[in-house]
Homo-oligomer: A and B are copies of this chain.
Amino acid sequence: MVSLKDVAQRAGVSIKTVSNVVNGYQHVTPAMRERVQRAIDELGYRPNLTARHLRKGRTGIIALAVPELGNPYFAELAGAVIDAAARHDYTVLLDHTGGRRDQELLVCQGFRAHVMDGLILSPIELESEDLLARTDTSPLVLLGEREYDAPYDHIAIDNVAAARLAVRHLVDTGRRRIAFLGAREESARRPAHLRLRGWREELDAAGLPAGDDLVVATEAYGREDGARAMAALLDRGPRPDAVFAYNDTMAVGALRTLADRGLRVPEDVAVVGFDDIDESRFAHTPLTTIAPDKEAIARLAVDCLVDRLAGTAATEPRRARPGHRLVVRDSTVGRR
């Protein structure tokens, strides 16, 4: 490996001068700059970033941990984070947790990837107590609809409002029996999903039923889970005339089951998803869905982290709410 020292020797100058040239400092005579540059080119010198990082105390790497890259929402989000980070000269180390608490803990304790300046984490199972017990001191920004009593920046759209918007659309288009697909089992410690809460609030406001018989719990949030949840719902009792799925992949699974059962969408059952992944636009029955502003989410998360890293952020945790909108497609209003 070619080091600064080699270049300095070749150019007949001190290491510092080479460093100045490499880092583009002012106050280097053009002649000197050129001489050093020639030595650099001849030797094919490339700075050793590890050494620079050790010296500067930062690595230029931020980590992003999402539950599952197989879920297009997170894949698309990861792409946006990579782009946002690049604009700040940061590179992104990617990890996935499978939405398992132990993995989330590991990641947030920095065990898997301690070579990072900060972390953006989209947790599923993690608890507030886990966050409070965190010993790693690098900045952490949380993503998503879980709410925590812990002093960390948190970026999430208004999930309750978004869910209400989706349900209102179903109510407005004449649906009266609206189910929810994808609630996790509730417990005292783990607050119910905000999306589930929004579903319930809007139905209550409309005076429509919002009982447990209209809610299907699932283990995960993939297409298969959506398909099974839809089947369970249909087997369970009186058919709903609409379903609001936790996310688009589940909604796609629900469409699959409805097709298998010979039910028409939206005539028999309307379907609304959440995430607006590209796939939803191209589904056989294009999916009505909530579109979170993914670019804004990624940008805000990276900005927050960069502010923390620069020490320019306020002390108290930041709470940012990127926008969202309802995208109406055939799965609720038929061919227009």
Contacts and interface: CB of A to CB of B under 8 A. Distances in A.
25 contacts: A46-B110, A46-B114, A50-B54, A50-B59, A50-B115, A54-B54, A69-B69, A69-B76, A70-B76, A72-B75, A75-B78, A78-B94, A79-B96, A82-B96, A91-B95, A91-B115, A92-B93, A92-B94, A93-B93, A253-B282, A255-B282, A259-B284, A279-B279, A283-B284, A284-B285
A112 interface: yes
Interface of A: 1, 44, 46-51, 53-54, 57, 59-61, 68-70, 72, 75-76, 78-79, 82, 86, 91-96, 110, 112-115, 135-136, 222-223, 227, 252-253, 255-256, 259, 278-279, 281-285
A92 B91 CA distance: 11
A78 B92 CA distance: 13
A255 B284 contact: yes
Contacts of A115: 49-50, 53, 59-61, 91, 115
Given A49-B114, A59-B115, A61-B93, 18 more contacts: A1-B57, A46-B110, A50-B53, A60-B115, A69-B69, A69-B75, A69-B82, A72-B72, A72-B75, A91-B95, A91-B112, A91-B115, A93-B94, A222-B278, A223-B279, A252-B282, A283-B284, A284-B284
A231 to B, nearest CB: 13
Nearest to A63: B91
Contacts of A46: 110, 114, 136
Contacts of A113: 91
A115 to B, nearest CB: 5
A23 B282 CA distance: 53
Which of A44, A49, A57, A282 lies at the interface centre, i.e. has the most chain B CB atoms within 10 A of its CB? A282
A278 B223 contact: yes
Q: Nearest 5 A-B pairs (CB), nearest first?
A: A284-B284, A75-B75, A69-B79, A94-B94, A223-B282
B72 A79 contact: no
A229 to B, nearest CB: 13
Contact of A70 (B49, B50, B75, B94): B75
Nearest to A70: B76
Nearest to A137: B1
A205 B282 CA distance: 35
A87 to B, nearest CB: 12
